Structures are given as C-alpha cells and as structure tokens.
Amino acid sequence: MLAYRLLTAEDTSAFCHKVTRALSKGWVLYGDPSYAFDAANGVMRCAQAVTKETPGDYDPDVKLGDL
C-alpha cells in the first residue's frame, strides 16, 4: 500500500522537524512544499506531502503517523 500524508504547521523550525522526523521514518517527499499566509491567525503556514510504501492493505483506522 502507498500511504499519503500532508504535513502542515506554522512556519517555524517545528515544521522542519516534523518533516525531518517523517523522512527519518522512511517517508518520501511528494511534490513541492506549499507556503501560504493564514490571515485568521496572522502567520505563515507550510505544507509538505509525503508518501511511504507499507505492507498490507488500506485500513481507514490506521494512524498514518505510526507507519
């Protein structure tokens, strides 16, 4: 199964750590990162899609962060 996640967070080093942690667990970058202004909160937000090949079939109850 190919699992997909969209990692998002405020534009701080915490976002970079979130992506780095996913990469260290075998996730692979998918596409370009996105960067947008969150007017409601007055901050910039980042997003990065990642994918990971995992054994087994899709289960909607699986916690993707645990893969």
Q: Residue 30: inside a domain, yes or no? A: yes
Q: Residue 67: inside a domain, yes or no? A: no
Q: Which long-range contacts (CB under 8 A, 24 or more apart) does 41-46 make?
A: 41/10, 43/10, 43/11, 44/10, 44/11, 45/8, 45/9, 45/10, 45/11, 46/8, 46/9, 46/10, 46/11, 46/15
Q: Residue 42: inside a domain, yes or no? A: yes
Tell me the residue range of the domain where 6 lies.
2-55
Q: Helix and strand tally (H, E) in the chain?
A: 1, 3
Question: Average model confidence (pLDDT) for the chain?
Answer: 96
Whole-number pLDDT of residue 21:
96
pLDDT in tens, 6-28: 999 999 999 999 999 999 999 99
